[in-house]
Amino acid sequence: MPTTSQIVGATALPVDDAHRSFVLKSPVISFIGKTAADVIKSIPVKAGMVIDLVTSVIVEVNNVGSAAFGVGDGDATSGYDAAVSATAAIGTRAESAKGTDTFALAGKAYAADDTIDIILTTQGSIPTAGKVQLYAHGYWA
């Protein structure tokens, strides 16, 4: 399974120092040249972080049928979102859904460094164009 890294330029935006919460933001990620088995490493996560949910924001539309992607990590490829539509309108937001997505039930505590990844799925067409940006909402345990 080919793996590419898009984490150069990922940033942390502090939200609340008292509660040690933050939002991690990926760079804008392009689907051009990607294939079905690609894993796109998008946001680095450090040991000791808890990620509650991940928001995907469509930056540029992919006009290929029912193109979709998953958002997960090294433990569960779709732990944060099983199927995000890459054909949604610019600005469309998709978030981890409590009761639906594995890690959204109680967040995920990271004991070791990892990355939040985009996995190009076989749920519909593979996105081959378009762009997305991810935001991981969390706190330090």
pLDDT class of 117 with cuts at 50, 70, 90: very high
pLDDT at 12: 60
Give the domain range for residue 97.
3-140
What one-character-per-residue DSSP string does 84-104 give? EETTSPTT-EEE--TTTSGGG
Q: pLDDT tens digit string along 50-87?
A: 999 999 999 999 877 788 899 999 999 889 998 899 99
Q: How far apart are CA 67 and CA 122, in angstroms?
A: 9
Burial class (CB in 10 A: 0-12, 13-18, 19+), 4: middle
Tokens standing for residue 79: 């732990």
Query: Which has the higher per-residue pLDDT, 7 or 31?
Result: 31
CATH number at residue 34: 2.60.120
Question: What is the reported pTM?
Answer: 0.86
Residue for token pair 């345990």: 141
pLDDT at 1: 47
Question: Number of structural domains, the chain?
Answer: 1
pLDDT class of 25 with cuts at 50, 70, 90: very high
